[in-house]
Amino acid sequence: MKVFSMTAENNNKSIIITGAGSGIGRETARTFLQAGYQVGLIGRRKEPLEETGEGFDKALILQADVADHGAVHDVFQKAVEKFGRLDVLFNNAGVGTPPKTIDEISIDEWLTTVNINLNGAFFCAREAFAIMKAQSPQGGRIINNGSISAHRPRPGSVPYTSTKHAISGLTKSLSLDGRAFNIACGQIDIGNALTDMAKAMTIGVPQADGSIRAESTMDVTDVAKAVLSMAELPLSTNILSMTIMANDMPFIGRG
């Protein structure tokens, strides 16, 4: 694996963000770019990534499907060759399925969700961990996007909820294993950030009592600021788990 030491010519902090073509990933990428970071933008489609990075000379387009471990390896190597090191990974890419009970969920829907939400997070964390372990100065930070669903399920959400519970296990294991190499790992659990994906929340979504009700949402920029605040901590300090949510959303007592 090719890694580089920090030099006077390449002393900007760097981050790779998955799912950077829209929603939370896009807003977070722009927040880090505005903060002066070198930002690697991972996503399946090139055009949305270019829209995210438009106007920023420190944005690097890294077109890849996170479920493809070979493609993930290639773009991480491309990023570290460009940036000189990797300081942060934001494991953000994720998908869900329409609400339905397990007997109505197709095998393809299950596999797609697991491949992106869990396998993709594993592949990216694996690459980041290896780079951070080998680089000089050693270390870095991995931030996993969990979900409120890592704690409380929504009705009809078996694939999504299962993967998000698994992300919590991945986070805790990486946090433990990373100690010897100055690698910190934490998780941000996000509830009802208003993105295109979450617009349904403002209209009405299924509740545990069988009703359909609209839910409160929050500004996605607040999520991006929270991720930046986690990333800016010294590696001697770690936020293992942060919950950020629309204040009035049904989380406490959900289910």
Does residue 37 have an active-site annotation?
no
> Rounded CA gap, 232 and 183, in Å?
14
CB atoms within 10 A of CB 216: 15
Question: Of the listed 76, 83, 123, 160, which one is catalytic?
Answer: 160
C-alpha 255 chain-centroid distance: 25
Q: Which of 62, 87, 57 is CA-nearest to residue 73?
A: 62
Q: What share of residues in the chain are helix, strand, coil (percent, to 5)?
A: 45, 20, 35
CB atoms within 10 A of CB 240: 12
Output the CA torsion 78→236→226→87 (10° steps).
-10
Task: Return the active site residues.
Answer: 160
